[in-house]
Amino acid sequence: MARAVLPAAVWAEAIAFAEGLFDELDRRTRGPDGVTRASWGEGEQAAHDLVAAAARDLGLTVSTDAAGNLFMTMAGRDAEAPAWFTGSHLDSVPCGGNFDGAAGVVAGLAALHAFRAHGLVPARNVTVLATRGEEGSSWFSGPHKSHFGGRAALGQLSAAEMDAARSVVDGRSLAQMIADAGFDPKGAAEAPSIRPEMAHGFVELHIEQGPVLDRRAVPVGIVSGIRGTRRARDARAEGAHAHSGAVPREYRRDALLAAAAFAGALEARWEDWLAQGRDMVATLGRFSTDPAQASLTKVPGLVTFTLDIRSEDEALLRDAEDFVVAAARDIGAQRGVAIDLGRIDRAAPATMSPDLRGRLRDLAAELGIPAIDLASGGGHDAANFALAGIPTAIIFVRNPNGSHHPDEDMPIADFGQGARLLAALLAD
């Protein structure tokens, strides 16, 4: 299948182009504590402006939809055929790294750079998509399902959710922030820009956010599926503040020890599920007393925390939700503390297309690119495409230092391997 191979000189130019985009993204959006590209904020807009200009230089057709998602399209031989979509997001977490999300957009542009340099016209249109607001969990509180831009493009974002999601910076609703950025929240809720029949498939290249590829010394991963979630964003344990020396243990309503007992019970059950060979991870990502009330000499009366449970197994997610609700009730009753998990947000697991995964394996073998299968623990826009019925795949690129912090460290040679694999699929 020689059609998967593009000349080395063409790829060298494409990777140099990609390196230039990464360097400029970093320059425009890195502060003293890392890269910050807030959803619908100044940094995200700077990134969109940069890649849109690069796309125009490549002769691509550039447009935005009502939510501000960016579409950069190379025309194929059959413009009426369902198109390939590829890409990712350009926002980041606060004080994050330069590659989470951006690598997927840059890889798509690098592939089209190579096509253009080689005179290759794809069989169907290829659109590089840069979504907005994928990192919504970092930038918005309230009941929501994050991944705002990609879900808006697919018709999965409601007006009610846009009103409920509130900026953690200034309290504005997501709808207001979309409007303030110059886009149309009403249209984002009512006018999907991608319908399933328009898409031949969606492929997202992304840095791996865990250590598997690095530990196994493999540059590229082909993702089997994306774990679904159960999330409690505003959980709390409320007991009673008391004097640390004057109140005996049996009379205390210690919120911290109750919350700690809840955490311990979850970990013990987690170990049981893993021993059964079931897929799961669980995290209490925020766990704190109120610094305005807590002190060395006071029994804690209030603890707030978050809970994030993930699995590829929907049945296990249901079991886990039942368990944590019961554990909160029972441990709270034993200790005289009200453990309230609050609203639990649910996202279903997303299985990647077996056909696309098989094609990626075949192409990786043809190109001599070492690749392994692995699950994605992090959520991605790709999950929403898969759940919309669009054939979907994810290519992971080795990233030794993990993600969501300033020291993301994707080797450019590994990125080149992933981008070559992506281009081969889009050209195949």
Q: pLDDT tens digits, the chain, 428 residues: what are they?
A: 445 578 999 999 999 999 999 999 999 999 999 999 999 999 999 999 999 999 999 999 999 999 999 999 999 999 999 999 999 999 999 999 999 999 999 999 999 999 999 999 999 999 999 999 999 989 999 888 899 999 999 999 999 999 999 999 999 999 999 999 999 999 999 999 999 999 999 999 999 999 999 999 999 999 999 999 999 999 999 999 999 999 999 999 999 999 999 999 999 999 999 999 998 999 999 999 989 999 999 999 999 999 999 998 999 999 999 999 999 999 999 999 999 999 998 988 999 999 999 999 999 999 999 999 998 988 899 999 998 999 999 999 999 988 989 999 999 999 999 999 999 999 97
Q: Are 300 and 256 in contact (CB under 8 A)?
A: yes
Residue with tokens 């593009």: 6
Residue with tokens 């006018």: 191
pLDDT of amino acid 6? 87
* Domain residue ranges of the chain, discontinuous segments joined by +: 2-227+349-427, 228-347
Exposure string for 206-239, b = 16+ CB within 10 A, e = fewer: bbbbbebbbeeebbbbbbebbbbbbbbbbbbbbb
Burial of 248 (0-12, 13-18, 19+ CB in 10 A): exposed
Residue 181: how many CA atoms within 13 Å on its side-chain side?
30
pLDDT of amino acid 199? 98
Nearest to 230 by CA among 309, 283, 305: 309
**The CATH number of domain 2-227+349-427, selected from 3.40.630.10, 3.40.50.300, 3.40.1410.10, 3.30.70.100:** 3.40.630.10
Architecture of domain 228-347 in this structure: 2-Layer Sandwich (3.30)
Helices (H), 58-166: 102-118, 136-139, 148-153, 159-164
pLDDT of amino acid 68? 98
Strand-pairing partners, residue 221, are 372, 396
Residue partners of 311: CB distance under 8 A and separation at least 6: 227, 228, 278, 279, 280, 281, 317, 320, 349
Q: What is the DSSP string of 160-218?
A: HHHHH-EETTT--BHHHHHHHTT--HHHHHH--S--GGGEEEEEEEEE-SSSHHHHTT-
Report the alpha-carbon distance of residue 6 to residue 117 in Å, rounded: 10
pLDDT of amino acid 3? 53
* C-alpha torsion sign, points 349, 352, 353, 358: negative
pLDDT of amino acid 251? 96
Nearest to 428 by CA among 76, 103, 130, 129: 76
Report the alpha-carbon distance of residue 205 to residue 129 in Å, rounded: 12
Residue with tokens 């197994």: 313
pLDDT of amino acid 428? 77
Token pair, residue 231, equals: 């999330």
Report the alpha-carbon distance of residue 282 to residue 264 in Å, rounded: 12
Exposure string for 57-94, b = 16+ CB within 10 A, e = fewer: ebebebebbbbbbbbbbbebeeeeebbbbbbbbbbbbb
Report the alpha-carbon distance of residue 309 to residue 327 in Å, rounded: 15
pLDDT of amino acid 1? 40
